[in-house]
């Protein structure tokens, strides 16, 4: 059986905390953007927070040991690796959104 460093209860707490922080950040950006004429950079920042949170949530969820208990260890390792590639891809998209948003602030 594959042993990972978190249990299911801790995973749920981390994902709930991630959702709360993402919601608060999104609401704060929307409130700030409400007063501005050009809202495009703010939308890119919101996309950054949401995509980053989804990617991190997927990464945290892939640490759930219940996902891998019924599989052989080699298949579980390959599945975990593919999930980490998707997490990395989501993180890259998130950083691209952040860079675009920050560059639009400078214009």
Q: How far is CA 54 from CA 19, 22, 35, in A?
A: 9, 10, 28
Q: How far is CA 37 from CA 27, 32, 97, 100, 106, in A?
A: 17, 11, 20, 18, 15
Give the E-state strand segments of 65-105 in sequence order. Answer: none
Q: pLDDT tens for residues 47-105? A: 999 999 999 989 888 877 777 777 788 888 888 889 999 999 999 999 999 999 999 98
Residue 71 CA to residue 76 CA, distance in Å, equals: 6
The pLDDT of residue 5: 57
Structure tokens at 9: 């209860």
Q: pLDDT tens for residues 12-60? A: 888 889 999 999 999 999 999 888 889 999 999 999 999 999 999 898 8
Residue 18 CA to residue 72 CA, distance in Å, equals: 31
């Amino acid at each position: 059986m594959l042993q990972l460093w978190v249990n299911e209860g801790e995973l749920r707490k981390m994902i709930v905390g991630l959702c709360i922080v993402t919601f608060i950040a999104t609401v704060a950006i929307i409130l700030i953007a409400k007063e501005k004429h050009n809202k495009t950079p703010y939308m890119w920042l919101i996309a950054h927070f949401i995509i980053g949170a989804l990617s991190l949530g997927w990464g945290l969820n892939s640490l759930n040991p219940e996902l891998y208990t019924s599989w052989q260890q080699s298949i579980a390792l390959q599945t975990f690796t593919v999930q980490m590639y998707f997490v990395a891809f989501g993180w890259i998209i998130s950083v691209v959104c952040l860079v675009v948003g920050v560059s639009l602030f400078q214009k």
